[in-house]
Amino acid sequence: MPRSQWAQHADEGRRFGHMTTNISECINAIMKGSRNLPITALIKSSYFRLGELFARKGSEALAQLQVSAEFSQTLMKAIESNSKHVNTMNVYQFDRSRSNFTVEELTAVSGSRQQNYQVLLDEGKCDCGYFQALHISCRHVLAACSHARLDWKRFVHPVYRMESIFNVYRSEFRPIGHEDD
């Protein structure tokens, strides 16, 4: 196992690919430049930075909603990347309900050690672990969906829908008035 994945290997608490260390790094990036400030200045700086972030991200999400985008651009890029390998796989279906599959990779994919993957669509599981960790369709799920003529979109967690993303940034920060007001 690559060294960069050691910490994630046994971390059952991760959600959507994030671990506590990743989240703290994101917060540190936002707080960069705010070190050694008095507490009031630190809070004010945090408030303004988050206000700007929410305004920018909210505008981006609204623009995506206005062009009827169903999912985020990041998700669509990941799906596009994962679907490049679908035609190089054999898919074997193991039930009438079209939810249990074995997917065999015919060509080596970089970073992959295995050749056969069990995909359980109803349980949201694939042996590669990507499907469970990120809650989006990995290449094996996309191959299974293609084989069974199922829509891969129903296996993507609702958090990736543009409505959900917009709802995160729906709240607006109010400007801080003068202390005398």
Domain ranges of the chain: 15-70+164-168, 73-155
Mean pLDDT of the chain: 82
Q: Would you call 39 exposed, middle or buried from its count of C-beta atoms within 10 A (0-12, 13-18, 19+)?
A: exposed
| pLDDT given at position 2 | 61
Mean pLDDT of 29-42: 77
**Is residue 132 scored above 90 in pLDDT?**
no
Please determine, for residue 116, whether its predicted confidence score (pLDDT) is greater than 80: yes
What average pLDDT does this structure show over 87-94?
A: 90
Say how far apart CA 17 and CA 5 lie, in whole Å: 11
171 has a pLDDT exceeding 90: no
In sequence order, the 6+-apart residues with CB closer than 8 A to the CB of 59 are none
In this predicted structure, what is the pLDDT of residue 46? 81
Among 22-36, 101-115, 122-136, the range with the most confident prediction by mean pLDDT is 122-136
For the record, the structure tokens of 39 come out as 């507490």
pTM above 0.85, yes or no: no
Q: Are 160 and 71 spatial neighbours (Cβ–Cβ below 8 Å)?
A: yes
DSSP string, 106-143: SS--TT---SEEEEETTTTEETTSHHHHH-S--HHHHH
Q: Kindly tell me if the per-residue pLDDT of 114 is higher than 80.
A: no
Token pair in block for residue 164: 């959900």
Three-state secondary structure call for residue 56: helix
- What is the rounded distance in angstroms from the CA atom of residue 125 to the CA atom of residue 119? 6
- Beta-ladder partners of 92: 102
pLDDT > 90? residue 71: yes
The dihedral region occupied by 85, where left means phi > 0, alpha psi between -120 and 50, and beta the remainder, is alpha
Q: Which amino acid is at 105?
A: E
